[in-house]
A and B are shown apart, each in its own frame.
Chain A
């Protein structure tokens, strides 16, 4: 267990505002900032991509950890394979205006997914459904709920919680909760 965390059997919810209710017929996932131009998938196209099932521990900055959670999702590697780009950072953007920033290496190499299934069922809206970013190595606010795309960037820019004083990287094992930790 990372320092300062405790195990919960629940799945608490942390969000800044109301839970968006997405209409799957309008839903798209977009990669912006690629030299090959923006790449967009509809929900049907996204779900036709090869998906993976994974088991991971997740760690929220509010100190709960949940062990051995099972997810289904499309690896970010699979999505990025379909564009040409040079970037050092990504900014995930979401329904409701939420954003979060990550270095490219935090979401490549089998470390991040766009998850649409949780414990064998479609991901519930309050937990980020229809799809959320899943980056289990980092505090859970980096696993942006209701994700609608990734912007590939040369430079880093703080996302929503990062602007409000949370840590820019958010490694639970180094207890990077707040700026300066």
Chain B
């Protein structure tokens, strides 16, 4: 329970979009140019603030997609009614500036414990990318199993990175709405039987992270508890489709 991840006052700082990558039709990864970044832990997020020409401001929280020590990256999903995501995952171009503050959050973070189970629904995979890249960069040999649920193949974020996981990392995917020809992964919503296949046995004292839309997280966290995972070993991050943490 120790760990004040936020120290002192969190001030807004200007950042510049250095590079922008299209991950899926709705998701873009933005590499930020930020001066004097204090560093972060995998799983933490930042607050983003946009200011319009007329002074109107809008703020939302986004998970950090990069490992500590890498250029800071955010992956943003464009939501139908999202005033901030529409810009970040739409109109934003390299060289554009906005403000962030952070890092924020001290509970949904990975400090290298394991074995680790990561269960992601949709853009809930973003903080797990930070964890997997940290595992690689710091040459950690913590065994990781990941289960990632997307609606269809086109919506799978970090497709190429996840296609060739590092030794010690197992990635299973499920596509819930449609599957490409020859698909060998799961083809249904995550359920208790799927988690029983993938999840580390409780006897290994695994640490589970679950991130996704609220109904997904409710179902997965409840199923893990049903498999015997102690609630304290299941850390969750929910989003309601509203861009909020």
Q: Which residues of A line the B interface, CB within 8 A?
A: 4, 6, 8, 10-20, 60, 62-64, 96-97, 126, 160-161, 163-166, 178-181
Contacts and interface: CB of A to CB of B under 8 A. Distances in A.
A126 B83 CA distance: 27
B222 interface: yes
30 contacts: A6-B58, A8-B240, A8-B242, A10-B241, A11-B240, A12-B242, A13-B214, A13-B238, A13-B240, A14-B238, A15-B238, A16-B107, A17-B221, A18-B222, A18-B225, A19-B218, A19-B222, A64-B240, A64-B244, A126-B218, A160-B107, A161-B107, A164-B107, A165-B5, A165-B105, A178-B9, A178-B10, A179-B6, A180-B8, A180-B9
B245 to A, nearest CB: 5
Given A62-B245, A164-B107, A18 B214 contact: no
Q: Is the interface of A mostly helix, strand, loop or mixed?
A: loop
A17 B218 contact: no
B6 A64 contact: no
Interface stretch (B123-131, B152-160, B228-236): B228-236
B9 to A, nearest CB: 3
Most chain B beta-carbon contacts within 10 A, residue among A16, A126, A161: A16
A114 to B, nearest CB: 22
Contacts of B231: 17-18, 20, 96
B1 interface: yes
Contacts of B184: none
A17 B240 contact: no
Contacts of A62: 61, 244-245
A11 B238 CA distance: 12
Contact of A17 (B3, B4, B235): B235
A19 B223 CA distance: 11
B73 interface: no
Given A4-B59, A163-B106, A181 B232 contact: no
Contacts of B74: none
Contacts of A8: 240, 242
B10 A4 contact: no
Contacts of B83: 6
Given A18-B234, A181-B9, A63 B244 contact: yes
A92 B217 CA distance: 25
**Most chain B beta carbons < 10 A, residue from A62, A126, A180:** A62
Given A15-B238, A165-B105, A179-B4, 15 more contacts: A6-B58, A8-B240, A12-B239, A13-B238, A17-B232, A18-B224, A18-B231, A19-B218, A62-B61, A64-B240, A96-B231, A164-B5, A165-B7, A180-B9, A181-B10
A67 to B, nearest CB: 15
